[in-house]
Structure 1
Amino acid sequence: MHAIKARSDRSDRDAMMSRTSAAHGAFVLPRFLRKPFRIATRLFGGGVKIPRHAGTLGMIGFLSATGLYGMAVGNHTHTVIKATASTFGFAIEKVTVAGNVETSEIDILEKLGLDGETSLIGFNADEARQAIETLPWVSSVEIRKVYPGSVVVSLQERKAFAVWQSGADLVLVDDAGKPIVPLSGSRYTSLPLVVGEGASSRGKAFIETVAAFPDLAAKVRAYARVSDRRWDLLFDNGVRVLLPEQDVKRALAEVETLQRTKDIFGRDILSLDMRLDDRVTVQLTPAGMESREKMLKAREKAAKAAGRRV
């Protein structure tokens, strides 16, 4: 009740003053400016006591606001945070790498982009993970920040499954046929060699099919993809076996039987064509052709001699 009455009395007084001033031709301030005007009058008239350090605090606040604004506009926020956090003991001093066999720690540290002032607070683990995943051997990465100043990097690396020959280039590929790095040195020469267009992506399934015939698989030197339709097997003695586009297992079983019963790979042959269901075509080496011709001539002479005797 008293508050309502006070506001009512104030309104009546303001209205009366307005009418009085209007009657005398004086200037009247609008209602919303009257209170700020009264505060300013009391301030400059000494009626308001200013705190002792208000000016200093106001200046500090103004300078701080100006600095923050300039830092944001100039895109220096990350640099300021890094320097501040390093000053308070959050600089990255230790990096632990686990799971790397093919990937060097130097390459990993380079992708992390650390320097002597990089802080753990300002360190972006997600960006670092994406950078490390661009390394050729890396399959997946996990990065953990351990306060106050350590980073732990855990890698999962890709596994080399075969050597893919495309033209004159030799490239290590994983089991999905995706290239990893060019082949260098002799470390991976024991891996299967797949040759030709489409061989890298389809090689795993075909190699597993041939592995079901261990006597043949042990002698295979290369798996050649022909026109991305079918396969040839190149054996370590130089013999090429031409396989059909369909029913590969049947053809491999026949080759295995020929090897077991007739030692086909011990003969002077260049190739064994298994593409037709009803026959096997054999191409002889030049030496084999010469031996065959001698054998046929000898057989013909023997037949003539036997005829004369009869």
Structure 2
Amino acid sequence: MQQLEANNTAKPPYQMAGLVFLVTVLLGLCYAAWAISHWLEDSQKAPINQVLVTGNRVYIDDALIENVVRKNHPESFFELNVDRLHQQIEALPWVYRASVRKRWPNSLNVHIVEEIASAKWNSDSLLNQYGQAFDAQLVNGELPDLFGPGGSEKVALQGYRDMQTLLNSASLTIDELYLSERFAWNLRLKNGVRLNLGRSEYLNRLHRFVEVYPLLKDQGKQIDYVDLRYDTGLAVGWKDAEKTKQES
């Protein structure tokens, strides 16, 4: 009877082998997890080997983008914080939008959308094509100077575009545009003529100037300013001959 009970409690050899195999697998998985974790923590084993910069760029140097990555992000490829790097790149001058993507196994793709400068703003910044101010140094290219109160950037840029379209028919170009605190418009053209358009109906008033401009040129005198703040007419100021001679 005792011999029978002993035979019943003994485990067959295949069960013991299965148990040993299971324990071996579990130990192997634990070691693999530890090894991978240790490898990921070691930046020298997973460095960022290549930074690929794409997008149309005029003012942005690829070396500047790569320097931001190398200097501010010494982490491994796996540990790199893409969101933080994205914010740092978009904070650079001339960067309007950027996207950052990891590319297996050790590269970064950085796509840049560069700002397009449409005008200078208040002598210390630039306006992009959407009327948004940004800080950057204009290396080359001639842009109009726009001046106005804070928050009027989009209004000033759209006003400039509308008025320049009208002036194109007379081959005239805006050099400076001033938008006052009360939203009165003043222009200085490339030829030195100053225009006072007031607050309302400024496009209609500018159209009136374009129509009468050929007659004003035929007067044989150089125009100093034209005040268009009238319902139907305008007032013209002429430069005196001595002043004209000094400026020429």
**TM-score normalised by L of structure 1:** 0.58
AA in 2 matched with 1:93:
N
Question: Any unmatched runs of 5+ in structure 1?
Answer: 1-50, 52-60, 69-77, 290-310
Supply the RMSD in Å over aligned alpha carbons: 3.3
Match of 1:123 in 2: 80
Q: How far apart, CA to CA, are the structure 2 residues paired with 1:114 and 1:96?
A: 16
Match of 2:162 in 1: 209
In the alignment, which of 82, 86, 101 is matched to residue 41 of structure 2? 82
Higher fraction of helix: 1
In the alignment, which of 104, 114, 120 is matched to residue 147 of structure 1? 104
Instruction: Work out whether 1:226 is the aligned partner of 2:180.
Output: yes
> How big is the shift at 1:288?
8.6
| Equivalent residues of 2:221, 2:239 under 8 A apart | no
Number of aligned residue pairs: give it.
210
SS at match of 1:222: strand
| Equivalent residues of 1:222, 1:233 under 8 A apart | yes
Match of 1:98 in 2: 54
Q: How far apart, CA to CA, are the structure 1 residues paired with 2:156 and 2:48?
A: 45
> How big is the shift at 1:205?
1.3
> How big is the shift at 1:265?
8.5
| Equivalent residues of 1:95, 1:151 under 8 A apart | yes
Match of 1:48 in 2: none
Larger Rg: 1
Match of 1:180 in 2: 134
Give deviations 1:210-232, integer Å, cap 9, x for gaps.
Answer: 11341346332222223341211
Q: Percent identity?
A: 22
SS at match of 1:119: coil
Correspondence list, 1:145-294, <5 A = 145-164=102-121, 166=122, 169-185=123-139, 187-188=140-141, 190-197=142-149, 200-210=153-163, 211-216=165-170, 218-263=172-217, 267-287=221-241
Name the structure, 1 or 2, with higher relative contact order (CA <8 Å, separation 6+): 2
Q: How far apart, CA to CA, are the structure 2 residues paired with 1:102 and 1:265?
A: 46
| Equivalent residues of 2:148, 2:156 under 8 A apart | no
SS at match of 2:47: coil
Match of 1:45 in 2: none
Q: How far apart, CA to CA, are the structure 1 residues paired with 2:236 and 2:50?
A: 66
AA in 1 matched with 2:104:
Y
